[in-house]
Amino acid sequence: MRLVFLGLAGAGKGTQALVLSEKLGIPFVSSGDMFRHHLSQSTDLGRLAKGYMDKGELVPDEVTIKMVVDRIEQRDCRKGFILDGFPRTLAQAEALDRALGKGPVEKVLYIKVSEEELVRRLAGRISCRTCGTPYQLDALPAQAKTCPKCGGELYQRADDKPEVVRKRLELQWPEVQGLAGYYAGQKKLVEINGERPVDQVGSDLLKAVGA
C-alpha cells in the first residue's frame, strides 16, 4: 500500500502517519528525515543538496525526487510506504508519478483542519530549550515555566507566534489545495476530519485504507 499524507502544518499528519505505519506494517517516510540522513551521512545526494542550501537556494525537485526514490526502493518498502512532507508542490507530485511508474501512489489521505484550529494548536505550542520536547500549553499546569521531562526552561519559538503561524498557513494553502485537486482528479484523495479526537481520526484513516 503506497500512501501520501496531505494537510497544513498542525493538522497532525506526522502523528497519525506514525500510528498508521505501525498498524499496517509499512515504513513511515518523512522528507525531513531523508534530508537529515543524506546530509549527516554526506552521501552524493546529501552533498549535492548541501551545495544548493549553502548558497541559500532551494534544492531542485530532481534532487529531492532522487532521495525519495532511493528510500522507497529499499527492501523494507516493498510492501508499501507512507510519505509525509512530500510532495509539497504540483510539480513534485507529477515528478513522483513519473518516478513510480507502474507502482503509483494508491491513496492520498488529506487531514482537513480549519485555520482557526490550526492557529490555536500551533500558537499554543511551547518547547524545552534543553531537551527540545514540544508541549501544548493547555496540557500543562497553569503558568508552568519548566519542562516536566528535564526541568529545562520552556519557551515559545518565534515561528509559533499567532501572526507568524497565520502567514505560514497562507503560504501553504495554495499548494495544499493544488495537490488536493490533482489527486482528486486521479480519484485517490480521501478527506479526513482532523478536528475530531486523535483516536477517532486514526480510526477514520484505517477505514479509509480498508484496514
13 annotated active-site: yes
166 annotated active-site: no
Strand extents, DSSP E, 89-164: 107-112, 125-128, 134-136, 154-155
User: What are the contacts of 151-155 at 24+ separation with CB within 8 A?
Assistant: 152/128, 153/128, 153/129, 154/126, 154/127, 154/128, 154/129, 155/126, 155/127, 155/129
Question: Does position 46 have pLDDT exceeding 80, yes or no?
Answer: yes
Predicted confidence band of residue 211 (pLDDT cuts 50, 70, 90): confident
Count of residues for the chain? 211
**Strands 2-6 and 134-136, sheet pairing:** unpaired
What are 113-159's pLDDT values in tens digits? 999 999 988 888 888 889 888 888 877 887 788 988 899 999 888 87
The active-site residue, picked from 2, 50, 66, 88, is 88
> CB of 129 within 8 A of CB of 153?
yes
129 annotated active-site: no
| Predicted pLDDT of residue 123 | 85
| Predicted pLDDT of residue 199 | 95
2 annotated active-site: no
Distance CA 24, CA 107 (A): 14
157 annotated active-site: yes
Question: Does position 194 have pLDDT exceeding 90, yes or no?
Answer: yes
Domains of the chain in start order, with CATH, are 2-124+176-208 (3.40.50.300)
Task: Say how many C-beta atoms besides its own lie within 10 A of residue 32's C-beta.
Answer: 11
The active-site residue, picked from 157, 161, 167, 207, is 157
* The pTM of the whole model exceeds 0.95: no
